[in-house]
Structure 1
Amino acid sequence: MREFIPPATRFVRVPDGFRMKRGGVLHGARIAYETFGRLNAERDNAVLILTGLSPDAHAASQPDDPGPGWWEAMLGPGKPIDTDHWYVICVNSLGSCKGSTGPSSPDPATGEPYRLDFPALSIEDIADAAAFTARALGFERLACVIGASMGGMSALALLARHPDLARSHVNISGAVHSLPFSIAIRSLQREAIRSDPQWNRGRYAAGCYPERGMITARKIGMTTYRSAQEWDCRFGRAKPDPATGVDHHSFGPEFTVEVYLEHHARRFVHRFDPNSYLYLSRSMDWFDLGEPCGGDTAEALSRLRVEKALVMGAQTDILFPLRQQRQIADGLRAGGAEVEFLSLESDKGHDAFLVDIDRVGPPVAKFLSTL
């Protein structure tokens, strides 16, 4: 087991005895982050980015790490999140394997990786750790907190648990809780990992990585990150070059879309810890913003203290459907926030925030310019 830490990563040490929402305590934990841009003299231009399930803190290229980041097209000088104006902090989620303490990190009590001895992880824990990081860096009031996908959940939890930490909020393809379809999909992903004999109840060795389970889990996820319309337009019923020698008797890939899924899943699997995948995935299923309000999501949203918000989602998103973003917008508006809601006509599905920057970027840039 190992962690995957980008070169420019910095760390904040979490106070000893960090208590998790569902029980358990972390000792010697850390949160990984990167910063972009410059802080102004008034220290009021700080923006916090909370990520989806798999990204690290390297959201964009910078001098200490010139390699492209996972949100390269969105973040940087002159880009929608303009680092000529904003000082941006991107935090890697607690429970990840990209620098923040998670199942692949050493347990200080044993010196061995936590594996499944890592405490039960909740979105609220991720939010608390991110809020602590912002404060440890000297910020009691952020200009904006931005979250997409799981990061949208984490951002809502942060706003609920740490009132007044941010003046405004951008929520892209987020949700107040998971719907049955997305829970079902993630349960299949976890089952694929757990069913791989190499997983060995979380105690897989470096030479026995549960590759097949992770590949299958990633393929399941990828089919839901994009839309059926895009798959149709992009691949149709195209088949690979016959020269590749498809063996029909093995029931292997016979369509281009299958080859695409296999290729991209293989690129991912050895760069992410299977146990982190399990923990983070389950945290999304558990999350319910309305839980402290007796399940009343509208009440929970109306209590969030932000002055302004931009909420958007893709019409073709099947994982976090557009009605979930509309719910967030309506709830924030009911609480007195000035809210803009956008329905994006993108065929990129849930991944629109990553790949359809021509549609996602301009509204974010316009919103930030009003702060």
Structure 2
Amino acid sequence: MSHDARRYFSLPSPFPMKRGGELHGARVAFETWGALSDARDNALLILTGLSPSAHAASNEQDPSPGWWEAMIGPGKAIDTDRWFVICVNSLGSDKGSTCPASIDPATGEPYRLSFPELALEDVANAAHAAVSSLGIEQLACLVGCSMGGMSALAYMLLHPGSVRTHISVDTAPQAQPFAIAIRSLQREAIRLDPQWNNGRYDDAHYPETGMSIARKLGVITYRSAMEWNGRFARIRLDAEQRDDDVPFGFEFQVESYLEGHAQRFVRTFDPNSYLYLSRASDWFDISEYGEGSIQAGLKRIRVEQALVIGVSTDILFPLEQQEQIAEGLEAAGAAVEFVALDSPQGHDAFLVDIENYSRAIGGFLGRL
């Protein structure tokens, strides 16, 4: 797989972290599409969910499809004929950015659990530093999806004036107890795998089972019960698909579907990086910036216009949390459009229900 499209920005050294500690010689990976205008006023930054890389769409250097391929490109909702699109891989993610699997220059060994505690504010600051390095003082638009939506709120709070408009996709101003509970179980599954070994695993001793269960829990919550019913009902596996020698083995199609998802994921993501980013999502709380009030925190964000999209079937980032973001940005003086979709796909709808998301996002950007 060609990674020629991936570029790297070296962060200022030392790079201080919100919760203490600092990184030396750190970097973030990013990719770009389209061309920056002479006035440098057409930049659109995308901040991603927990697991994606910076490869949001194909480009000349890397023709493989990106994670938001149907959304980004010439004539698409995020039109690269008009916008200079940047996607930054989160600090702490193993998709090219400095993360717990990276080598600590002080020791010559991987950081593992000696990596400083990671907050989404650090993700935001690293992305802002990368954008600034491209000579962009103000983004025309900042797009944040899922975890990236929380990072985007931090970006706008910590760097006032650096964003003109904002698109908030399936995210929240703080994690609700349900989301924290699920992520806590995902982390526990990884930590309880003997191969995890307090973060000291290698390719030969990799916490496969823990990562597999963590991924299955994720997939279950990224979709909705409505969709599981529609796709699988109670359909059982054919005899040849079952392993009847395994006690309590898989019997239903939905079990086998989850297993396939998990197997495709496990070795593609560093378990320690997963733990760090997952916890950062739990920690994020915009009310820290508003003396304990979400609305007061949001009111400190200054953008001209915003589009907030949510899905009624999202159980991880429920619609009422996206309503809070819309109300808060409006109270802060932004012209806000709030779009509530009924996509059956739940939290993952922004990756799947391209027709409805394209209409909302393309419509909003077209009016700018």
User: Would you call these one fold, judging by a TM-score over 0.5?
Assistant: yes
Separation in 1 of the partners of 2:258 and 2:74? 33
TM-score (norm 1): 0.98
Residue 165 (structure 1) aligns with: 162
Q: CA deviation at 1:42?
A: 2.1
Residue 95 (structure 2) aligns with: 98
Separation in 2 of the partners of 1:342 and 1:13? 37
Residue 330 (structure 2) aligns with: 333
CA deviation profile, 1:78-136 (whole Å, cap 9, x unmatched): 11101111100000000000001000011001111100000000010000111111101
CA deviation profile, 1:215-236 (whole Å, cap 9, x unmatched): 0000011100000000000010
- How many residue pairs match? The answer is 368
Gaps of at least 5 residues in structure 2 are: none
SS in 2 for 1:39: coil
Q: CA deviation at 1:248?
A: 6.3
SS in 1 for 2:166: strand
Note if 1:254 corresponds to 2:251.
Answer: yes
- Partner of residue 133 from structure 1, selected from 119, 130, 135: 130
Residue 203 (structure 1) aligns with: 200
Structure 1 pair 147–5 and aligned structure 2 pair: CA distance change class (3 A): farther
Identity of aligned residues (%): 61
Does structure 2 retain, via aligned residues, the 8 Å contact 1:6–1:98?
no
SS in 2 for 1:198: coil
Residue 289 (structure 1) aligns with: 286
Separation in 1 of the partners of 2:110 and 2:75? 42
Q: Which amino acid aligns with 2:50?
A: L
SS in 1 for 2:37: coil
Q: Which amino acid aligns with 1:356?
A: D
CA deviation profile, 1:185-209 (whole Å, cap 9, x unmatched): 0000000000000000000022111
Does structure 2 retain, via aligned residues, the 8 Å contact 1:5–1:98?
no
Residue 22 (structure 2) aligns with: 25
5 Å-filtered alignment, 1:289-328, equals 289-328=286-325
Q: Which amino acid aligns with 2:117?
A: A
Residue 174 (structure 2) aligns with: 177
SS in 1 for 2:324: helix
Residue 262 (structure 2) aligns with: 265
Note if 1:359 corresponds to 2:344.
Answer: no
Structure 1 pair 253–5 and aligned structure 2 pair: CA distance change class (3 A): farther
- Partner of residue 108 from structure 2, selected from 101, 108, 111: 111
Separation in 1 of the partners of 2:288 and 2:305? 24
Separation in 1 of the partners of 2:254 and 2:50? 24
- Partner of residue 276 from structure 1, selected from 261, 266, 273: 273
SS in 2 for 1:69: coil
SS in 2 for 1:290: helix
Residue 38 (structure 1) aligns with: 35
Does structure 1 retain, via aligned residues, the 8 Å contact 2:2–2:62?
no
Residue 53 (structure 2) aligns with: 56
Q: Which amino acid aligns with 1:127?
A: A
SS in 2 for 1:275: helix
Q: CA deviation at 1:244?
A: 2.2
Greater displacement, 211-220 / 38-47: 38-47
Structure 1 pair 167–354 and aligned structure 2 pair: CA distance change class (3 A): same
What is the aligned-residue RMSD (CA, Å)? 1.1
CA deviation profile, 1:315-356 (whole Å, cap 9, x unmatched): 000000000000000000011100000110100100011111
Greater displacement, 7-16 / 316-325: 7-16
Q: CA deviation at 1:5?
A: 9.0
Separation in 1 of the partners of 2:121 and 2:162? 15
